[in-house]
Every structure is written in C-alpha cells, then in structure tokens.
Amino acid sequence: MTLRDRTYRTEAIVLRRKDIGEADRILTLLTPERGKVRVVAKGIRKPRSRKAGHLELFTRTNLLIATGRDLGIVTQAQLADAHRPIREDLTRGAYAAYAVELMDKFTPEQQDSHELYALLRLRSEVFVVEQACLFQDMDGLDDACHHLMGLDSTGQLLAYARLVPKGVTFAEASIGRVVTSPVARGSALGHALMAEALARLAQLWGEQPVRIGAQAHLQGFYGRHGFVAEGSGYIEDGIPHVEMCRLPKV
C-alpha cells in the first residue's frame, strides 16, 4: 500500500462529535466523495491542539485523513468556513442541529455524495447564513420534488431550484428554494434558472398554473417570468413574502 493509498484529502462538514479517552474525539463528517464518514481527531481536546478551532460543529473544513483499521485519523485540518452566524445564535444553532441530525440519519456511509453535499452547502450558505433566514431547510418535502441543479464545467453547483408537484405546498405546482451561488451573481443566471425551471416543470407534469411564495423584494424578478402577485403580503421566517401565480400560456 502506497502513502497515497493510506491518506486522502477531502472537504467536509462536521455533523457530530463524541469525546473519547482523555483528549481525543470521534467526528462524524459529511464529505462529497465518501458521503458520511467517521474519523478520530487525536489530541483535539488538549489546550494547545492546533486542530481544535478547525473542527467545531457545523464548520466546513479541508482535511487530510489517514485510513485506519476501523476509523480514519485526522492528520491535518484547515478551516474553510466557520459558519459563525449559526454557531453564535441559539435559534440558528437549533435549526442547524436539526438539519445535521437528518443528514446524519439519512446520508449513506462511504458512498459518493457530491450532489447532495453541493446542494445542502449552497442552500444553507445562502438561505441560513447569508440571508439570516431561520427556516427549516430540510422540511421533509425533498423526496416528493424534482431537483434542478446548474453546474459549471468543473462540476461546481452555481444554481438550484426545487420543483414541487401540485398538492404538496400549494394546490398548484410550485417552484421553491431558488438560489444562485454568490460567485455567479450579476450574470443573469437567476433568470436562466427560472426559465429552465418553468420549462422542466411543464415537461414533467404538463402546462399548468404555478404558485410560489416569493420574497416581497423579488416581485419584479418573478414578474419577468409571468408571475402576478395575489393577496396581501405575509411574514415567513422573519422576511416579507407574497404569493404569486403564473397561469399557463393559452
């Protein structure tokens, strides 16, 4: 076995941790290439440990892991994103804890999870961290929906939308979780995403009315795609929203 075979590098999100022995900790990680993995961080609880700040709950970290007989061993860790808004706010922390509990329960171990990892990372970074939107992202509806993912030539997820069949969130079909990566903003990718989402929805379930719960300040954006505001606005997750509906073209 070569040195390369005995170690591997990966990005990971820390889902769980459990103290063992006097100074070690077992970590449950979500990784793109291997799905959910469990590793040991030796000596991480020592006061002078260099790894401690890089392996807190909910952090996104770049790791070098040595394969072991039962569990991998973290040999290097470099913090990529601390997700401080989640860790420093009790309410956000509670939502994050619930989300990672579901990820831990339903994510397979040692299986490629590139799409799942990218999807959850983008949705949480924009909706929860960037917009400070304290909503329950993993709402139990994903299995009933079609997921539209826009990737660049390197496989990086830049845009995403969730297509919802009628009768799930509204009597009509719907489009939700519309999001573009911060690195792609200003490129009109959002409009391309909505156009593709509407076309794909029609391919899947036929031409039909589509109803959405839009953030109020985005009425103009959705209006360009044929949506018209209906009723009075409402507050959802602390953000003003309005229902909008798009009728099929005659």
- Domain for residue 1, yes or no? no
Burial string for 162-186 (b: 16+ CB within 10 Å, else e) reads bbbbeeebbebbbbbbbbbbeebee
Q: What pLDDT shows up at residue 35?
A: 82
Closest to 225 in 3D by CA, of 246, 200, 202, 240: 246
Statement to judge: residues 159 and 183 lie in one domain: yes
pTM, full prediction: 0.62
Please give the tally of structural domains in the chain: 2
Q: What pLDDT shows up at residue 126?
A: 63
Statement to judge: residues 19 and 128 lie in one domain: yes
Q: What pLDDT shows up at residue 236?
A: 81
Statement to judge: residues 120 and 147 lie in one domain: no
From 90, 122, 138, the end of a domain falls on: 138
Q: What pLDDT shows up at residue 217?
A: 92
For residue 190, the domain's CATH number is: 3.40.630.30
Q: What pLDDT shows up at residue 149?
A: 87
- Domain for residue 117, yes or no? yes
- Domain for residue 118, yes or no? yes
- Domain for residue 88, yes or no? yes
Q: Give the domain range for residue 113.
A: 6-138
Statement to judge: residues 130 and 202 lie in one domain: no
Q: What pLDDT shows up at residue 206?
A: 95
Statement to judge: residues 118 and 232 lie in one domain: no
Q: What pLDDT shows up at residue 175?
A: 97
From first to last of its 250 residues, the chain has per-residue pLDDT tens of 444 568 999 989 888 899 999 999 999 998 888 888 899 999 999 988 989 889 988 888 999 999 888 899 999 999 988 877 777 777 667 666 766 776 676 666 766 666 666 666 676 666 555 555 555 555 667 788 999 988 888 878 888 999 999 999 999 999 998 888 888 778 889 999 999 999 999 999 999 999 999 999 999 999 999 999 998 899 887 789 999 999 997 6
- Domain for residue 85, yes or no? yes
Q: What pLDDT shows up at residue 75?
A: 94
82 vs 12, 107, 157, 166, 231, CA distance in Å? 12, 22, 20, 38, 40
Structure-token match 């994103």, residue found: 81
Statement to judge: residues 68 and 18 lie in one domain: yes
Statement to judge: residues 212 and 112 lie in one domain: no
Statement to judge: residues 50 and 132 lie in one domain: yes
For residue 78, the domain's CATH number is: 2.40.50.140
Statement to judge: residues 115 and 155 lie in one domain: no
Statement to judge: residues 13 and 55 lie in one domain: yes
Statement to judge: residues 14 and 127 lie in one domain: yes
Closest to 119 in 3D by CA, of 165, 95, 155: 155
Statement to judge: residues 123 and 26 lie in one domain: yes
Q: What pLDDT shows up at residue 239?
A: 81
